[in-house]
Amino acid sequence: MGKIIAVANQKGGVGKTTTAINLAAALAVENRKVLLVDADPQGNATSGAGIERSKDRKNLYHALISGESVRELVLPTEIPTLWVLPSDKNLAGVEIELSESDDRGRVLRNLLVEIKDYFHYIIIDCPPSLGILTVNGLTAADSLIIPVQCEYFALEGVTELFETLTRLKRELNPSLAIEGLLLTMYDERTNLSAAVAKELRDFYGSQVLNTVIPRNVRLAEAPSFGKPIILYDPRSRGAESYFELAKEILSHG
């Protein structure tokens, strides 16, 4: 049975989509069948994985609103074992269209049931908010990766997210586990990055993943070419760090 991992943080600009794309790609290169679910209306995980934007193509929005089979919506990528369930800006309408539904938090989980056994991993890129789409991602997931930028207010943002998770686990997904906090945009030239990393490790201990994602120009460039970093520049420090992350996640089982 496949493992569903949500990548979420209510703060934007923390490397969330970068992590979703590149972890999915690195796991796929490790010969695992992986589905990247783009649950963010910005659609950056879709384009960053090499899927061209299209107004005419059905996507996650149609599955969530009209119950269309996700089997018919997943698209192949340049990596043979990686597929994408795409999104576009229409997905923002889900927040309104599902607001009256009694089961609005469980729609994505119900959709993924039919394909969960086909994939080794399903990675969900959640939007940078705590609305219905993120709630759906967290309710569908077995575990959660929380990217945390090495910056001054990092601990504050994580504390807020953990408070939300406590409520969500109580009401919607009691079995949701923390896969780990992932330190991103780490700059070894600054004292701040080291101080934030130490503070998070002191406070959260083993919940912080060993892998650290560095600030890396090649990593920042890759999405504009529609490629995961392991295809764009497999020898870069960014690529190496996501290969490390994939191995760490695989070791968790």
pLDDT 10s digits, 146-191: 999 988 887 777 888 898 899 999 999 999 999 999 999 998 888 8
pLDDT band at 253 (very low <50, low <70, confident <90, very high): confident
- 55 has pLDDT over 90: no
The whole-number average pLDDT for the span 47-57 is: 90
On whether the CB atoms of residues 42 and 136 are closer than 8 A, the answer is no
Fold type of domain 3-252 = Rossmann fold (3.40.50)
Reported pTM:
0.96
Domain ranges of the chain: 3-252
The CA distance from 68 to 90, in Å, is 15
pLDDT band at 76 (very low <50, low <70, confident <90, very high): very high
Task: Give the CA-trace dihedral at 236, 242, 246, 247, to 10 degrees.
Answer: 50
